[in-house]
């Protein structure tokens, strides 16, 4: 409950600008827009610092199109995840400045670059080349939310010198995102190298007993290095979002 909002409502009620019924009604109404199949939370920008992000999986192309169109009327920056190319084409038809990041399957709209503190950067690392799509989802998410992002890809632990070579960059980073499939060991090694928050993203890269990313997920959850937290398998967006929140704390 927003105290200021309630206070001003109460004052309007006291002065008679609002009736008892109107006041009760307004107290219950919060700022979202109802498209019937979706309730757009336009308040989220204020509450959480970024507009509602569209999760496209399971939605029809028409639904994605309508939602992005509406959001684009109220927001400078928009992000839609797990979007197919077909969804992008439909969106592009109604939001001309929408862009598509094919590897990361993201649709973005960015009308006004947020100010970026280039000193405080997020480092996105991937264990293998095959993990890059998820790493890019994290990186682009963090960028559109106003962060400096650097990328170091293909530094899996089987060639530990490639990783040790990045020590300086790791130490300079403000937040680390570690993206790895297979056994996900990269998170533990990086976690032991610096005292910065490490967000581990297991990927579904692998086969057999990787069980769709379960191996990497369990590995990361059981990391012997403290200071690591984990997001869902292939959830580059979640990692990028959390890294952005941490990176923008003062």
- Contact assessment for residue 112 and residue 76, using Cβ atoms and an 8 Å cutoff: yes
Q: Which residue has the tokens 């992005």?
A: 68
Nearest distance from residue 32's CB to its own copies, in Å? 5
- Contact assessment for residue 186 and residue 127, using Cβ atoms and an 8 Å cutoff: yes
Measured CA to CA, the distance from residue 250 to residue 246 in angstroms comes to 9
Q: Which residue has the tokens 């109604």?
A: 94
Ranges within 36-55 binding its own copies (CB under 8 A): 36-39, 41, 43-44, 47-49, 52-53, 55
**Residue 108's beta-bridge partner residues?**
79, 99
Which one of residues 98, 107, 147, 181 is an interface residue with its own copies (CB under 8 A)?
181
Give the three-state DSSP class for 228.
strand
Is residue 208 at the binding interface for its own copies, with CB under 8 A as the rule?
yes
| Among 7-15, 70-78, 87-95, 110-118, the segment contacting its own copies (CB under 8 A) | 7-15
Is residue 150 at the binding interface for its own copies, with CB under 8 A as the rule?
no
Is residue 7 at the binding interface for its own copies, with CB under 8 A as the rule?
yes
Judged by beta carbon, residue 88 or residue 137, the one nearer its own copies is: 137
Q: Provide the H-helix boundaries in 57-125.
A: 61-74, 85-94
Is residue 209 at the binding interface for its own copies, with CB under 8 A as the rule?
yes
Which one of residues 61, 116, 157, 169 is an interface residue with its own copies (CB under 8 A)?
157
Which one of residues 32, 61, 116, 146 is an interface residue with its own copies (CB under 8 A)?
32
| Among 84-92, 93-101, 109-117, 124-132, the segment contacting its own copies (CB under 8 A) | 124-132
What are the backbone dihedrals phi and psi of residue 112, each rounded to the nearest 5 degrees, phi first? Answer: -150, 110
């Amino acid at each position: 409950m927003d105290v200021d909002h309630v206070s001003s409502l109460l004052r309007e009620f006291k002065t008679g600008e609002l009736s008892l019924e109107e006041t009760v009604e307004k107290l219950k109404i919060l700022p979202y827009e109802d498209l019937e199949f979706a309730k757009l939370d336009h308040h989220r920008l204020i509450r959480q610092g970024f507009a509602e992000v569209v999760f496209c999986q399971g939605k029809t192309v028409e639904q994605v199109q309508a939602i992005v169109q509406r959001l684009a009327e109220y927001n400078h920056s928009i992000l839609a995840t797990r979007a197919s190319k077909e969804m992008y084409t439909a969106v592009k038809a109604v939001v001309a400045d929408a862009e598509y990041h094919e590897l990361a399957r993201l649709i973005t709209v960015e009308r006004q670059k947020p100010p970026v503190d280039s000193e405080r950067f997020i480092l996105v690392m991937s264990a293998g080349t095959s993990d890059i799509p998820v790493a890019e989802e994290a990186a682009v998410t963090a960028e559109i939310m106003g962060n400096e992002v650097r990328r170091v890809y293909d530094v899996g632990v089987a060639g530990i010198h490639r990783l040790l070579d990045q020590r300086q960059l790791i130490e300079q980073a403000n937040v680390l995102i570690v993206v790895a499939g297979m056994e996900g060991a990269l998170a533990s090694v990086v976690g032991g190298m610096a005292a910065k928050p490490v967000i581990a993203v297991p990927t579904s890269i692998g086969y057999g007993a990787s069980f769709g990313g379960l191996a990497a997920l369990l590995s990361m959850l059981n990391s012997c290095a403290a200071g690591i937290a984990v997001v869902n398998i292939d959830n580059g967006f979640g990692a990028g979002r959390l890294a952005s929140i941490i990176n923008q704390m003062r």
